[in-house]
Amino acid sequence: MKKYIGALDLGTTSVRFILFDQKANIISSHQQEHKQIFPHAGWVEHDPLEIWENTKKVMRNVIQETKNAEKEIAAIGVTNQRETSVIWNKKTGKPYYNAIVWQDTRTEEICENLKNKEKLIRQKTGLPLTTYFSATKIKWMLENVKSLRNDAEIGEALFGTIDSWIIWKMTKGHHVTDVTNASRTMLMNLETLDWDEELLQIFAIPRKILPQIHSSSEILGHCKNLFKTKIPIAGILGDQQAALFGQTCFDKGDAKNTYGTGCFLLMNTGNDIVHSQNGLLTTVGYQIKNEKPVYALEGSVAIAGSLIQWIRDNLKLIGNPAEIDCLAEVVADNGGVYFVPAFSGLFAPYWNGKARGTIIGISHYTNRNHIARAVLEATAFQTCDVFKAMQKDSGLKITKLKADGGMTASDFLMQFQADILNAEVILPLITETTALGAAYAAGIAVGFWQNIEELRQNWKEKIRWQSRMKTEKRKKLYSKWKKAVRRSLDWID
């Protein structure tokens, strides 16, 4: 039996390749950042060719470090930033335009023009009509990039989220995606797990440009151009679904939150499609081979870890992200300061693209420690908004939240999160849950792991935070946060 599973993590800010052994230990890892491109206010792009070059670089670095261990790799799983959209020419392999990133808001007018279709779109896809998802990004490119519409109509152009783009390059021509990524395009029907003809007509998108939809765990092709050995690509999961899978949230009601660039809270709803009445997304959680799909409720927060980067780079309040905990812990409370980081509008549960960032409650008493504390508390408050909506939609009381992502390094944030949720927050021993989820999906497909019960045995707890806050204080703090959010929403013209 082979020793390793590879995981290719195609994130918003970087590409990583990680080798795991059967106990989910990391054997080797390499990471490479890619450029964030901001052509105009609200526009966010990536260079797809740069992401491909970085993919080759990190994979080759791992193989060199492990003394050419490719013969011991049973399969590769792929996880990726979702919704980010790229269209390329299938003959030349060159993108027509930069990848339009999930955070991009240029398609607000397209969304406004399709408002009369929003109820239908939500019913079929589980998604609100916003700039977040892929369909409006594809429509924008078809309407604004020279010659693209014609090439799409004659079958020369191909669309994909980043998983599709990189797998097409790795396999030299397999045009595929999985149900989790397809469920984020606003073009896949949640019940049929296929592209929906009515939605394609609404967005004027030719079906022939779309990839073939597969389960999250099956052999999709072989990596042909990076190693001496042909290695199967056997799993795909959008990054947040990968974290759900990596956290072994396999039971109905299991929930996790990833604290990264944004925050993404997902709860397993089993084989049931739960349509949200409280501003959440209904999405596919994962599908193993030909089994029934597992669905999830999701709440997405646009700005979390990126807010810390912003106060470092734009306000110069800190020199590095690790300093923020030290500042926040100097003061006993936030001094009445609340920070609503609606830099690109507010995502779940508000879905308002016109809301704008707000710092409120400032007085002569306020210093940078209060602002630092308000920055960290903002992530916990936004998560609390989603948490409450999730409990209402599901009818389930969530008492435990599994956490992962870079911001879990903040002990202050994790404790405050437990306090404001009045729930336990649990950090796993293996924190690379996104990459691990992709590895698990690939491993199950090729028999490296036999079933999900074997995966559960790999999950180990590292730290657990329990609520220490009194009920009245919790209610008061959250009430003031909701007032700050209303001020942010009041910015609308």
> What pLDDT, in 10s, does the model give residues 457-477?
888 899 999 999 999 999 999
How buried is 67 (Cβ within 10 angstroms: 0-12 exposed, 13-18 middle, 19+ buried)? Answer: exposed
Confidence of residue 238 (pLDDT cuts 50, 70, 90): very high
pLDDT confidence of residue 492: 65
The pLDDT assigned to 296 comes to 95
Among 233-237, 350-354, 361-365, 429-433, the range with the most confident prediction by mean pLDDT is: 233-237
CB 172 within 8 A of CB 225: yes
Residue 27: which domain range? 4-240
Report yes or no on 339 lying in a domain. no
Is residue 185 assigned to a domain?
Answer: yes
Q: In this predicted model, what pLDDT tens digit does every residue of 45-98 receive, in sequence order?
A: 999 999 999 999 999 999 888 887 888 899 999 999 999 999 999 999 999 999
Which residues 6+ apart lie within 8 Å of 154 measured at CB? none
Assigned domain for 358 exists: no
Give the pLDDT mean for 355-376.
92
User: Does 399 map to a domain?
Assistant: no
Provide the CATH number for the domain around residue 111.
3.30.420.40
Whose CA is closest to 261, among 297, 224, 309?
309
b vs e for 413-449, b when ≥16 Cβ sit within 10 Å of the residue's Cβ?
bbbbbbbbbebebbbbebbbbbbbbbbbbbbbbbebb
The answer to whether residue 281 is domain-embedded is no
> Among 449, 90, 388, 91, which residue's Cα sits nearest to residue 250?
449
Alpha-carbon distance values, 183 to 46, 243, 408 (Å)? 22, 16, 28
How many domains does the chain contain in total? 1
Are residues 368 and 317 in contact, defined by beta-carbon separation less than 8 angstroms?
A: yes
Residue 148 covered by a domain: yes
- Is residue 120 included in any domain, yes or no? yes
287 lies in some domain: no
Averaged confidence pLDDT in the chain: 92
What are the backbone angles phi and psi of residue 434, rounded to the nearest 5°?
-65, -55
The SS3 assignment for 138 reads: helix
